Chain A
Amino acid sequence: MESKALEGLREISSSLTNDYMGRWKEQGGKVVGYFYSYVPDEMLVGAGIMPYRIRGLGSTTTMVSDKYLTESNCPASRYTMDAIMSGGMDFLDAIVGTNICDHVRRVYENINLYGDIPCISFVFVPRVTGEHHTATYASFLEKLRGNIEEHFGVKVSDPDIEEGIRTCNRVRALQRRLYDTMRADNPPLSGADVHAVMIAAECMPKQDYEALLEQLLDDVAGEEGDGTPASRFLLSVGELDDLRFVETVESQGGKVVTDSMLYGTLACCSDVKEGTANPIAALAQRYFGDDPALCPRIIGGNQGRFEYVARLVKDMRVDGVILCSMPFCEQWEFEQRDLGSFLRRNGIPCLSITNDYIQMDSGQIKTRVQAFQETMKGARLQ
């Protein structure tokens, strides 16, 4: 299927920088980088700042970061830090950290100490859910607002944040429409296309993204893919920002029709409540209170995540689930093990893959996916 919007979004997702961000910067716009998913885009958008989810795409070495981190740290943190310390993200005007995991929180500390990009705020995210834990997270979002105001000399009012909430909710609604197109027997887009669209959301101005995504949805309306996929997959991964993994999976005739990923459905599965008296509390409620299932780091959220996956398997008529984790990432390695057990108990076929952050093992992945498809086919015939 030909779509200029899709072409553009794929290009944006495959590079650390893009023309839209370039233009934003040329016009004096600021870009703030953050790790993972607990720094709400809404706050930054409301402040007139472009949020940018930090990733180490394109980094092929850890020569620089090896000075700061060690072999026991996960590849994502090592490659990402390498990209930052090598100047690959000098377009960032500031960085916000979170205690998302033991690796990433120290990457933030290292950049704070040795890097050139100002580290302006650290958002503490509790690991246990409950009313007062949500309030604690909200208090750190309040501190984030103060830090942004202080660093950039701007005023971030509640109505500003409310505006950010409305923008991001519109984006999420479009993303959900995108996933709806994957319900078809012969979806018009590949899983890699969808993945590209979701990544692009985190590295370009939201208004531009919204326009491109609307265009893409117009382009795909009524379209079909090249043929019914041999298998329909759900992909569950922690940090995956390189399209090549999904492309490799799909190279064997199957299609990733849905996912449980933060560069995926988890980013758009629910909205922030609009029109409340306290927009920061609304953000805390959505990112932490309502949806503790977002990440394995939240203790007690696993059952919710497993049920979420099971629901998607049913809704999207998934044949098999592909679980992928990185070495030395305790949270997702554990999650995949437990999720795998849950799926097997419920008769849902699954394949577990351990993969480096940079995509190098495509031959091995192809073989394993091929074998997985054949096993599922055999089981279906029986």
Chain B
Amino acid sequence: MKVNIENPAFKALVSADVHFHIWKTAHERANGLSKGINRVYMNICCYEREITRRRNMPEEERDRNLEALYELMRDYLLLTAFMLEHNMPVQAQWGFDGGIAQSMMVGAFCPGDLIMHHMYWDGGETFAVYDALDLPDDFCGLVRCACAGVAEGILPTPTYVTGMPAPCDGLAMFTQLVKNDPVWGKLPEFQFDAPYYDNDETWAYLADELRRYITFVETEISPGTKFDLDALRALLVKQEHIMELWHEFNRLMMCKPAPYSGWRFGDVAWKCTQHIPIGQQKTVDLFERMVAEAEEKVKKGEGFIPNERIRIYWPDLRPQWAYPLEDWMMEKYGAVVVCDNQSIDPYEPIDLSTEQTIFEGLAKRWLLSTPMVRQSHGGPEVQLQDLIYGVKEFQADCVIWPGHRGHKDQNATANMMRECCRDLGVPMLRLSTDVFDERITPLDKVKQQISEFFENTGLAR
């Protein structure tokens, strides 16, 4: 049986079933063994309430793109909860297989992504949990939260775990923690390895990793299930269209004034390509609408903000605390982030003709196109290439580098980044933050540093 997640009847079944369980959660369950699934249901409720609230807003205040993104998030969580509740195979992974598991009817959630859904809605509860654990306090906030999610049962228990040694040492250590966990440690696991360099050997090596993975799913997770290249190809055809639209959108973001916020677009782009099921028509619709709107704005010369004065390139992920900072920067300085490591579009099309070209294409996409993995794998060249591309092509006036403390490799390129900016003729501000945990450097302190930077460099004209 193949499950078509876009089938309206299947969607209705999933929705009805999950809503039954939400009701059951609220009425019958305490935070016991299924705390993780309960949390997923709670997130679904939060998205639903927010979608409803937004739909009831005055027409001129509605953000249909955000509504569509929330719907995609809700649907992804609905599917995940449904599969978990019905003991269908669900993997916990950090995003390499590129749709292979999905094509084999395996669900997926990324521990880091799912914990961010929690953090988005839980008002600091996840932080409180991880603060209570004896995890080293100089770690990336996301890794710490994901660890807490596993150790304290905030995340649902998957069927199996896929581990990834990239993008950072922290993630490799998360994998170690998982192996020692009394519940997750007993689950079947598959470890991908990541080569250091980008060359033909690398793609062949990663393609082999994908084949090993398929054998693992076929033999250990879903005996009897055979990998179907055509099923994967069908998903990728639509996903490739999404990638083209992403590229098109970024071409528009290079215009002055920028039609949208790079941070906001990065949010959409990353979620839709890395974490939710791939190849959905709803995602295509969202991207098409965003491109059309941006095109319209560019034609009219309208920007995301009325008086764009400063264009920022942000060489890291959008922080969890981005939006209050963005509102402040836009209002006070007319400053907008035009590109960051989430929204940058290094994508190259996948040749869908043969299994080998598909697998090598997926390998390239993972190593060269996944935010963080792209910038941190191998030497510092890619990070510097992106900096040059982001500043030049997006016409950035300055670079604000958050200095995320989890990205030790990036932090060890301070002088290279500085020299690169000097050559490009743009000023750079390096902050010292945790992009996932505002408490490390309070927002007021960040604002003060940015203010001084804009004033001292003359950008605040």
Interface residues of chain A, those whose CB is within 8 Å of chain B, are: 67-74, 77, 99, 101-103, 105-107, 109-110, 113-114, 122, 124, 126-128, 132-133, 136, 296-297, 299-300, 302-303, 325, 327-328, 330-331, 333-335, 337-338, 341-342
Contacts and interface: CB of A to CB of B under 8 A. Distances in A.
Interface in B117-145: 134-136, 138-139
B176 A341 contact: no
B416 interface: yes
Contacts of A72: 138, 403, 405, 407-408, 411, 432
B176 A68 contact: no
A115 to B, nearest CB: 12
B208 to A, nearest CB: 7
B413 interface: yes
A338 B176 contact: yes
A333 B136 contact: yes
Contacts of B193: 126-128, 133, 136
A103 B169 CA distance: 9
Interface of B: 134-136, 138-139, 163, 165, 168-170, 172-173, 175-177, 179-180, 191-197, 205, 208, 376, 379-380, 403, 405, 407-409, 411-416, 430, 432
B169 A110 contact: no
5 contacts: A69-B414, A122-B196, A296-B173, A299-B175, A330-B139
A69 B403 CA distance: 11
A303 B191 contact: no
Contacts, number: 127
Given A101-B169, A109-B379, A337-B134, A300 B179 contact: yes
B138 A327 contact: yes
B374 to A, nearest CB: 15
A290 B239 CA distance: 42
A330 B136 contact: yes
Contacts of B138: 72, 327-328, 333
A342 B414 CA distance: 38
Nearest to A330: B169
Which one of B136, B138, B176 has the highest number of Cβ atoms from chain A below 10 Å of its Cβ?
Answer: B176
A313 to B, nearest CB: 19
Which one of A126, A127, A342 has the highest number of Cβ atoms from chain B below 10 Å of its Cβ?
Answer: A127
Closest 6 CB pairs of A and B: A106-B412, A127-B165, A333-B136, A102-B408, A334-B173, A102-B409
B409 A334 contact: no
A144 to B, nearest CB: 14
B146 to A, nearest CB: 13
Contacts of B169: 101-102, 297, 330-331
Nearest to B409: A102
Nearest to B412: A106
A302 B196 contact: no
A165 B351 CA distance: 46
A106 B409 contact: yes
A331 B173 contact: yes
A72 B316 CA distance: 15
Given A68-B414, A127-B193, 20 more contacts: A69-B411, A70-B411, A72-B405, A99-B196, A102-B412, A105-B409, A106-B412, A109-B413, A110-B413, A110-B416, A114-B415, A122-B196, A136-B195, A136-B205, A296-B176, A299-B172, A299-B175, A330-B173, A338-B176, A338-B180
A334 B412 contact: no
Contacts of A342: 180
Nearest to B194: A127
A67 B415 contact: yes
A106 B196 CA distance: 13
A68 to B, nearest CB: 5
A128 B165 contact: yes
Contacts of B380: 106, 109
A39 to B, nearest CB: 15
Contacts of A114: 415
Contacts of A122: 196
Given A128-B193, A302-B179, A330-B139, A68 B415 contact: yes
A234 B134 CA distance: 22
B410 to A, nearest CB: 8
